[in-house]
Amino acid sequence: MIFRFRSELSWVSSNRQLQLLLAHLLQSCVSIRPQHSHHLRPIHAQILISGLQSDLFVNNLLIKGYSESGFLHGASQVFDRMPQRNLISWSSMISMYSRHGYGQVALSFFSQFRRSSASSESPNEFILASALRACWQYERANGCAFQVHGLAIKAAFASDVFVGTSLINVYSRFGFMEDAMLIFDELPIRNSVTWTAIMSGFCQIGKHDKALTLFCQMRVTGVEPDGFVLSSLISACAAMEFLDGGRQAHGYVYRKGIEMDVSVENVLVDLYCKCSKVVTARKVFDRIVARNLVTWTTMIAGYMQNSFDMSALNLFVEMNRLGWRPDAFACTSVLSSCSSLMVLEQGKQFHAYAIKANLESDEYVNNGLIDMYAKCGSLTEARFLFHAMDGNDVVSYNAMIEGYARHEEVMEAFSLFYRMTFLSLHPNLPTFVSLIGAAALLEEVCTIMQLHCQIIKYGVTMEPYAGSALVDAYSKYSYVDDARKVFNEVKDRDLVMWNAMLFGYTQNGLGEEAVKLFHQLCIVGLRPSEFTFVAVVAMASFYASLFHGLQFHAQITKAGLDYDSHVLNALIDMYAKCGCIEDSRTLFSATFIKDTVCWNSMISSCAQHGHADEALLIFNEMLAKKIVPNYVTFVGVLTACCHVGRVEEGLSHFYAMKHVYGIEPGMEHYASLVNLLGHTGRLQEAKDLIEHMPINPAAEIWRTLLSACRVHGDIVLGRHAARMALSLDSNNCGSHVLISNIYASKGLWEEAEKVRESMDQLGAVKGPGYSWIELNNKVHMFLAKGREHPKADMIYSILDCLTLMLKVAGYAPHVYL
């Protein structure tokens, strides 16, 4: 439509006709905006020329036109110059400011309306709805909302669908969902907007199940959901990770042929990402024709959250290539992916993009950069960014503390924590989890206890995330009772926490407690993971309990986890330690993909059970398959060489370990080599090896030589080895016992007596030996000279008979301590 004012006005013969024409032109501008919104000012000028600037009807249309076209200043000027105003005038102004996000200004106009001469008239439903929308926008207006609600009741509009919906929106905004629900229940008529408002309110406070219940009620009432309702519903399903509900909503959209706008498609992408259906999410993403910034950001974040980190980086690059400008949220997601992948170079590229896109001042991006540099090992850059920030928050402190803890800079981590508390920043759960990890490196349980006290002091809720870290830390220091107390305190325990407690019991030799806890885990309905089974199979290995081991193996097969390398390695070790070396070998042979740990388990198992030749054959087979041996591999190989006395082969492997595979020998390797040389009588070579070790020999090394001296009866070298061992660990009874046995074997009883006396003076007590045997699915434990077993009397009477028979046969026992 093209306006030609002069030709149109040439036939106007009266003011009434002119008024009608100008009103018609104004209504045309409003109805077909924005194409003709630029004609508003010429029409306004014609109104002024024609002397109609005082006409109430025309002025109201002008205000509406300016408002609809976004010319707020023009509408305000018209309103200010109006000689008289009515409800429509005030309603247009209040609605205009509230619709354009100026809630405080809209409330100011509403207040002026109440004080004006028009206040003799009660506000209508449109003014009340606009005022309530303004309250929703202005955070401090909850008191105003109550007043407007009172006016609505007084004016009998509280049951109006528009006013009622606005009331629900504003009460939901301030978290007063009980009040919102009371208003909702009293509304005689509810449209789709009303249902959307109440459902969105419950979603905002995390009561997504209530939102789903309301959707079901809406369907019963016959109200057809629109895009906004479906968006709220799918958002609720996404937050609850309720995949079936989300799929039903998705299917409903297709079944009803509802035209999906991009907001519904975006929440579908979010739903599938949060339910770990990333491939489905990508299919939905690819079918979206009109993607917006939220679409791209949601998909990138979905990839990151599901550990599809490389896909997240690639999508970000594609987004940028197509001309989109990724925002702070997209940048934060890709920086998290860079942290997970530990790809510093790509992280620096995204840092450069953030600077170029003027996002470097964004708080989330800055924290993401600090986290990325810290996790990628560039603590200098992370520290620079941290100190360059205008105001560090808890997130940035957490990122730095975690970075220090990850790189074992414990003092720096705690120093930052003290600074954080000095600045009155409230530490949260991630803060304490990082600090617990750092404290574990100090090997001081008191630090763990202090952190536990700090968690209680700051009122941090003991969630599984922190609870698992504490359980693991306490268990490491054998404070299993404290670990169990923490475990019991946490209400909603996840599988990670159950596994931590199971490993705690297993590591501390509390097999019975571990089995009980495993049964409790199954009773509460949790499905054991591969880590759960590794813990309980390790317990069966420790007690050499084949009965339990077989049961766990059956459950592993039932759970479909018999392909997992960690589980298979634990089973191989378990069968070997239970004496079933053939079963262990069968399981090893049946394993399709063998990693280094799997080979190590089999080599060590064969070596410990005297199958040294087989252990060395498996090692050669491992090398033939191009599997690179590691530190643990050579411990098993050297042990095997020791068992069969292959000195030259052992020395050859020891040499290859360092010079061929680049593995620095550790204390275990030197101990095995000393044992190998010592048991073949090459005691002087063993002594020379110890004295030329590049690392300080531990008492264990000298005790190994001392043991070899006892076998070969070398008193001189034995005394030297004992003296060196005791200088490093004077309280260990093993050295005393070994040198005493050497003296006793040579008939030097006075010397042996002196050793016993020195043991008494030092308080070094030889712990009683113990052993156990599994019989009829029950483990029987025996302590030296102990009478704890229920059938001890019968056992000792049989032993006495056997001893008598040995004496009759002429057996002379060795007299050792």
Domain enclosing residue 747, as ranges: 692-817
* Distance, CA of 555 to CA of 38 (rounded, Å): 76
Instruction: Specify whether 333 is located in the same domain as 222.
Output: no
- Domain membership of residue 718 (yes or no) is yes
Pick from 15, 17, 48, 43: which is nearest to 30 by CA? Answer: 43
Average pLDDT, rounded, for the chain: 79
Half-sphere exposure at residue 128, Cβ-oriented, CA atoms within 13 angstroms: 28
pLDDT at 568 over 90: no
Q: Confidence band (pLDDT; 50, 70, 90) for 573?
A: confident
Instruction: Specify whether 626 is located in the same domain as 697.
Output: no
Q: What percent of the chain has pLDDT over 70?
A: 84
pLDDT value of residue 426: 84
Higher pLDDT, 420 or 24: 420
* Distance, CA of 508 to CA of 101 (rounded, Å): 63
pLDDT value of residue 283: 92
Instruction: Specify whether 260 is located in the same domain as 318.
Output: no
pLDDT at 1 over 90: no
Higher pLDDT, 60 or 247: 247
pLDDT value of residue 763: 55
Instruction: Specify whether 650 is located in the same domain as 696.
Output: no
* CATH number of the domain within which 733 lies: 1.25.40.10
Return the DSSP state at 14: S
pLDDT value of residue 655: 86
Task: Read off the pLDDT of each residue in 31-45 and give the average, rounded to a whole number.
Answer: 58
Task: Read off the pLDDT of each residue in 36-65 and give the average, rounded to a whole number.
Answer: 66
Lowest-confidence segment of 312-326, 491-505, 802-816 by average pLDDT? 802-816
Pick from 179, 246, 187, 250: which is nearest to 212 by CA? Answer: 246
Instruction: Specify whether 817 is located in the same domain as 697.
Output: yes
Pick from 312, 305, 297, 307: which is nearest to 266 by CA? Answer: 297
Pick from 216, 208, 153, 164: which is nearest to 186 by CA? Answer: 164
Lowest-confidence segment of 244-253, 419-428, 758-767 by average pLDDT? 758-767
Give the contacts of 224 (CB within 8 A, at least 6 positions apart): 192, 256
How many domains does one find in the chain? 5
C-beta separation of 475 from 483 below 8 A: yes
From 350, 372, 391, the end of a domain falls on 391
Task: Read off the pLDDT of each residue in 416-443 and give the average, rounded to a whole number.
Answer: 83
- Domain membership of residue 1 (yes or no) is yes
From 665, 683, 716, the end of a domain falls on 665
pLDDT at 416 over 80: yes
Instruction: Specify whether 207 is located in the same domain as 280.
Output: yes
Task: Read off the pLDDT of each residue in 576-595 and give the average, rounded to a whole number.
Answer: 83
Instruction: Specify whether 318 is located in the same domain as 274.
Output: no
Instruction: Specify whether 735 is located in the same domain as 772.
Output: yes
- Domain membership of residue 696 (yes or no) is yes
- Domain membership of residue 305 (yes or no) is no
Instruction: Specify whether 211 is located in the same domain as 271.
Output: yes
User: How confident is the model over 143-171, as pLDDT tens digits?
Assistant: 677 777 777 777 777 778 878 878 787 77
pLDDT value of residue 295: 92
Instruction: Specify whether 731 is located in the same domain as 661.
Output: no
- Domain membership of residue 165 (yes or no) is no
- Domain membership of residue 136 (yes or no) is no
- Domain membership of residue 40 (yes or no) is yes
User: How confident is the model over 212-268, as pLDDT tens digits?
Assistant: 777 777 777 777 777 777 777 788 788 878 788 788 878 877 776 666 678 888 889
From 41, 66, 84, the end of a domain falls on 84
DSSP string, 805-816: HHHHTT------
Kind plus residue range of the DSSP H or E element containing 790: none
- Domain membership of residue 383 (yes or no) is yes
pLDDT value of residue 7: 47
DSSP-assigned beta bridge partners for residue 199: none
